[in-house]
A and B are shown apart, each in its own frame.
Chain A
């Protein structure tokens, strides 16, 4: 892998993104606003305070985390798959000095950057709703990047293995939806039976939600473990998507 060559591919993604962002950017705002209004203001009226926080304030940081997760996951599942198969963008790029490892490194990094773009956007929305107590929340950005990398890696592994684009629905239904619902975005996982709550610890979103929530409240006490978890998993997973994509693309 060579950084300069991966950079060339990142530039391509940025060029395309800046061409299309006007249409997609507005959509970034709409989804979190819908969640905040429906869950926070609607459902929240019937929900008691959680850890001394009103419900809408509780879910705000969770939505930052989950939106940044979905940004990376979409990018490295449907986005990468379409570039690899239907558009044959991979073929075009691989005919240049860029090699497959450079290309995969760029795909993963770009997904992590998109996590940050989405994370920042939603932070702004949540802040506009008056749900952020501390500017420390900005410290979550590098963590969102790293966690975005984990989601990108997991998604890329899936992309390397799926027989066709329809198979992604298994990934979304069996992996992403449970992750979204049981990682502490909408309620503290501790309310679940212990065994179920224990599973959450093994998922990346749980840790990201913890970190975002703690930073938003200006409380940095219990996040060290989660940060270590994210760094270790991001590094440990890294070689796998490269190996699997080599197997898929180069026969």
Chain B
């Protein structure tokens, strides 16, 4: 059974092949990580799954629906936590959630308790009336996570969820994500932190130059390729070390 699958997925920007004929299958409830150096095509894959970009060729299905066919239906069941802060700076913390819920046709009566619950989940319950500008980087990330959950998504897409965070905030985000895993939300994430992948991901795909080099569990990869941790495996497989 698959919740997301891709066959021969290719994405070209002009003459540049960002994604080059990749296949993968993601099963419901798993946490799947895309790892790879900058420019490997991870974000592009995420953007295609979230119906942001159309594939150049190949097929991608989410919930059994093709991404090209009816993006609105797919998007109504997805949550997306983007790499950059795209919170609405003209709205308060609380309003950000309420206005976002409205895009999903959630009436205000329902949205208000959802917003309170989510703010509590990400430990921002006392910050509801604050302006976005007043939030720290870690708080913004947590609010983005809360916002991505307003429609109670079946799949949560996380593009570098902890980049730029201090160790405390990073652990706070991990804890929330583990929580969601426990509730059977399918998690798709990209990361540059191998520790993060080791802790969260059931399986990882290691990408380089638009291709998938391997897909496996972190444990299997470490056993197969040696090395005490995923970072060693990653450096070995992506052919990059400090000399490059």
B197 within 8 A of A: no
Cβ-neighbour of B75 out of A15, A19, A96 (below 8 A):
A96
A49 within 8 A of B: no
Bound Cα distance from A28 to B80, whole angstroms: 38
Q: Is the interface of B mostly helix, strand, loop or mixed?
A: loop
Cβ-neighbour of A93 out of B54, B84, B103 (below 8 A):
B103
Cβ-neighbour of B86 out of A4, A9, A88, A98 (below 8 A):
A88
| A12-B76 contact in complex given A91-B82, A91-B86, C-beta closer than 8 Å | no
Nearest-CB residue, chain B, relative to A98 = B103
> For window 99-155 of chain A, which residues contact chain B by CB distance below 8 Å?
99
- Name the residue in B90, B91, B151 with the highest tally of chain A Cβ atoms < 10 Å from its Cβ: B90
Cβ-neighbour of A95 out of B50, B53, B105 (below 8 A):
B50
Bound Cα distance from A93 to B82, whole angstroms: 12
B173 within 8 A of A: no
Query: Which residues on A sit within 8 Å (CB–CB) of B80?
Result: 95
Interface residues on B, range: 20 to 34
Query: Which residues on B sit within 8 Å (CB–CB) of A99?
Result: 71-72
Contact A5 B72 (CB under 8 A): yes
Contact A89 B82 (CB under 8 A): no
Contact B90 A20 (CB under 8 A): yes
| A95-B82 contact in complex given A15-B91, A20-B90, C-beta closer than 8 Å | yes
> For window 76-106 of chain A, which residues contact chain B by CB distance below 8 Å?
87-89, 91-99
Cβ-neighbour of A251 out of B53, B78, B82 (below 8 A):
B53
Query: Which residues on A sit within 8 Å (CB–CB) of B103?
Result: 5, 8-9, 12, 93, 96-98
B174 within 8 A of A: no
A11 within 8 A of B: yes
A250 within 8 A of B: yes
Cβ-neighbour of B100 out of A4, A16, A20, A92 (below 8 A):
A92
Cβ-neighbour of A89 out of B52, B72, B86 (below 8 A):
B86
Bound Cα distance from A20 to B95, whole angstroms: 14
Bound Cα distance from A98 to B90, whole angstroms: 20
Nearest-CB residue, chain B, relative to A2 = B72
**What does the 1/0 interface line of A1-30 toward B look like (CB < 8 Å)?**
010110011011001100110000000000
Contact A94 B95 (CB under 8 A): no
B129 within 8 A of A: no
Contact B88 A87 (CB under 8 A): yes
- Name the residue in B78, B82, B86 with the highest tally of chain A Cβ atoms < 10 Å from its Cβ: B86
Bound Cα distance from A89 to B147, whole angstroms: 13
Query: Which residues on A sit within 8 Å (CB–CB) of B52?
Result: 91, 94-95, 250
Cβ-neighbour of A97 out of B76, B90, B91, B148 (below 8 A):
B76
15 residue pairs A–B, Cβ–Cβ below 8 Å: A8-B103, A8-B105, A12-B102, A16-B91, A20-B90, A87-B89, A88-B85, A91-B52, A91-B86, A92-B87, A92-B100, A96-B75, A97-B75, A250-B54, A251-B53
Which of A's residues lie within 8 Å of B, judged by CB?
2, 4-5, 8-9, 11-12, 15-16, 19-20, 87-89, 91-99, 250-251
Which of B's residues lie within 8 Å of A, judged by CB?
13, 50, 52-54, 71-73, 75-76, 78, 80, 82, 84-91, 95, 99-100, 102-105, 147-148, 151
